[in-house]
Amino acid sequence: MDTTLEQTGFSSASPTDARTALPAADVAAPMSPTPLRLSVLGGAILALLALLVVAGSAPEQPGLASVRQAEAHFAAAEFTAADAAFQAAEAQLTPDAYPRQRRAALYLRWNRPAEGLALLESLPDADPLLRLELLAAAGDWATLETVARQYLELAPGASQAHAHLTRALLQQRRCAEAEVAADAWAGRAPETETALTAATLHFIHQREAADAGLCTLDEEMCRIVRACPASGLCTRQLGEALLRRQQPALAACSLSRAVADAPQDARAQAWLGAALEQLGDTTAALSRYQQATELAPDDPLGWLLLGMARLKLQETETAREALLRAQALDPANPAPCLAVAAALAAEGAYGGVPTWTAAALERAPADVSLWKAVARFYLARNLTLEGEPLHAAEGAVQLAPQDAEAWTLLGWAHFNAGDYTAAREALETALQYDAQSAEAYHFLGATLRALNHHAEADAAFTRAADLGYRQ
């Protein structure tokens, strides 16, 4: 498996865009009361919806008008305005719970789950499925497991609760229990995703009996399980594929089985460390990386991942040593070069940084993702060394002239250089290619403010916030 920038923490993509965290369900539509709660809250919501339907034939109450405005803003993804209107409705319709619950649903869509959960705490009969969604978005896996089990005691056939239980168990690395939960989920929601999760867990734990199940669902997975000669290698390759698909919890299950079957496999140890690090267990990840370097001291993968992990912990000296070892062992790979640049920047040794970023670009001059990663490297650190951020952003645009992120980075670079006219042109170009780019709207707002176009700047900042931009 090739080591990519994303797998080593150098993705060019902005982490501020909430679109990647939106739930699959359409929570913008008015919620129907679940069978578990056709009581106080359910009756209140039905009554309020009925009032909304007939309100056109009579003078409208101020609270209902606010609800109508809030729902219209919500449906248009104008979350800032929707939030204000729901809060106004709460004040006008006290003690009705509908506006507060809808605001909690808004916070789910807006990738602000902690605030949504806080709102639900004040509702004794809140929508339990909404709470499950918010707990999952917040990453509170232990509570999610508890609440999902409670829900399933009352509604054993609820496929959404089975899905959340499976996910909670996987995130807690309780793979055998997750297999049982995934079976129950697949039995009630026979979509490809559910069946594939169950089949993957079956293969991890019962290889001979499960490969046919994977082969009916996924061509890549089928090639892996049919081609590998040994169980440890098979589950390692499956884990690598799952990491490429950004499924670290399921990957950790597969890679844990791989190291159990083949504890001397350094790459299995390294990739298990990568999965554990993505799941937030840095201590366990470091242990795996260390084992990988001891088992295969001439394999650059373990050294690279170890160096990156140490760098995140601001252990810059040990990080740099590991990264230089990785670079020496794999001199054609740009990732160690960019990582060494990051280590030098963290140490304040800025003079050596351009040499290493240039070395990274020399190794993959046609890779637009690398040019974007280098531009973001400089811009995120507010480094203007020798015009490097502008050079990297211009290179990205030249390679991909219709890439919205590349144009956003170019606009950011011009903004940092004080060329606000050029920044505006680049950012408006970015929005032509991606009208939903929160980052582009944010920097456009900053640029317009610098140009003294304050009303337009405020509108751009609001749109960035609606799209989930966070400082």
DSSP letter string, 263-297? TT-HHHHHHHHHHHHHTT-HHHHHHHHHHHHHH-T
The Cα–Cα gap between 114 and 150 comes to 21
CA dihedral for 359, 363, 365, 367, sign (positive or negative): negative
Residue of 468, 455, 457, 452 whose CA lies nearest to 427: 457
The CATH label, of 2.30.29, 1.20.120, 1.10.3470, 1.25.40, for the domain at 30-138 is 1.25.40
Please state which CATH number belongs to domain 376-471. Answer: 1.25.40.10
Q: Determine the pLDDT at residue 396.
A: 98
Tokens representing residue 343 in the block: 């280590």
Residue of 6, 19, 100 whose CA lies nearest to 467: 19
Q: Which residues does the chain have with pLDDT short of 50?
A: 1, 15-47, 50-51, 54-56
Q: Amino acid identity, residue 353? A: V
Q: What is the CA radius of gyration of the chain?
A: 25
Judge residue 372's burial from the number of C-beta atoms within 10 Å of its C-beta, 0-12 exposed, 13-18 middle, 19 or more buried.
Answer: buried
Residue ranges, CATH 1.25.40.10, the chain: 300-365, 376-471
Instruction: Please count the residues of the chain.
Output: 471
Q: Determine the pLDDT at residue 442.
A: 98
Q: How far apart are the first and last CA of the chain?
A: 34
Query: Prior bond to 95 cis, omega within 30?
Result: yes
pTM listed for this prediction: 0.84
The Cα–Cα gap between 299 and 333 comes to 13
Whether 137 and 164 have beta carbons less than 8 Å apart is answered as: no
Q: Determine the pLDDT at residue 352.
A: 95
Q: Determine the pLDDT at residue 270.
A: 98
Q: Determine the pLDDT at residue 43.
A: 44
Residue-wise pLDDT for 256-279, tens only, equals 999 999 999 999 999 999 999 999
Q: Amino acid identity, residue 217? A: L
At the second CATH level, the architecture of 300-365 is Alpha Horseshoe (1.25)
Tokens representing residue 408 in the block: 């956003």
Whether 134 and 127 have beta carbons less than 8 Å apart is answered as: no
Estimate the crossing angle of helix 159-171 against helix 248-261, to 10 degrees. 50
Q: Determine the pLDDT at residue 30.
A: 33
Q: Amino acid identity, residue 456? A: E
The Cα–Cα gap between 452 and 318 comes to 47
Whether 262 and 253 have beta carbons less than 8 Å apart is answered as: no
Judge residue 353's burial from the number of C-beta atoms within 10 Å of its C-beta, 0-12 exposed, 13-18 middle, 19 or more buried.
Answer: buried
Q: Determine the pLDDT at residue 470.
A: 87
Tokens representing residue 190 in the block: 């026979």
Residue-wise pLDDT for 311-362, tens only, equals 999 999 999 999 999 999 999 999 999 999 999 999 999 999 999 999 999 9
